[in-house]
Amino acid sequence: MNTGQKNFIRFATVCCFLTVITTLGIHLFFPDAPTGFEERAQLHNNAMYLLNRWWIILHCLLALIAMWGFFLVQYKRAPGFSGLGFLFFGVFAITEIARQILVLFYLNPLRVKYLAESNEAIKAILKLEIENFSLFGTSMFGLFVLAFGLGNLCYGLSLFKEKGFSKILSWLLILWSVGSFMAMGNEFWNSGGVNSFIGHYNAFYQPLMRGLLGWWLWKKSKTWV
């Protein structure tokens, strides 16, 4: 690993540690959006809601950089799984960033039009369009979760023949992918118990894993030449 590559791995490590903070923010800091339509129509004026959209975009960018750092470390040892894993993480990041951009620049302007419209017929059309956006957003979320789970699975398999902490990390990444697949499956099962488990899993297991990945990257940046 040349000096430039080593420095980038260290940069990716910092990004990975920052995702611990952004993950905790997503799952513990920001409040849930209201469920009523009229309350949700006002969200374009909610500073915390808007910050949450940009926070998620930042999180995805940091995670993508961190996962590229993982790929640079691991591609010579397991080019197939590490390359495929980063491909899935690319899909994960692009899908979620696109979903948030659509909320900011498509859905929110629709909300503004809906609130400003006086013609009840046009207002009903706008309301239907806003409500239908949730179906599109849920579909993108499904792709996001699937790609994230597959990325973790591939990265876990890329470490499967390693020893020591890398072997432990392999199993933890595979377990992370199982949690993601459970979250996707629960979109169909609608199990309250599974939903509660996934909520705790997201709040605690995900930041733990990002911290462990950051530590692994930092150790690799110091020992590889």
Q: What are phi and psi of 13, to 5 degrees?
A: -65, -45
Token pair belonging to 68? 């590229």
Q: Looking at residue 205, what is its pLDDT?
A: 96
Q: How far apart are CA 73 and CA 218, in angstroms?
A: 11
Q: How far apart are CA 204 and CA 181, in angstroms?
A: 17
Tens digit of pLDDT for each residue in 14-39?
999 999 999 999 999 998 889 899 99
User: Which residues of the chain are modeled with pLDDT < 70?
Assistant: 1, 224-225
Q: Decide: 89 and 166 in contact? Cβ < 8 Å.
A: no
Q: Decide: 187 and 138 in contact? Cβ < 8 Å.
A: yes
* Crossing angle of helices 47-74 and 120-158, rounded to 10°: 30
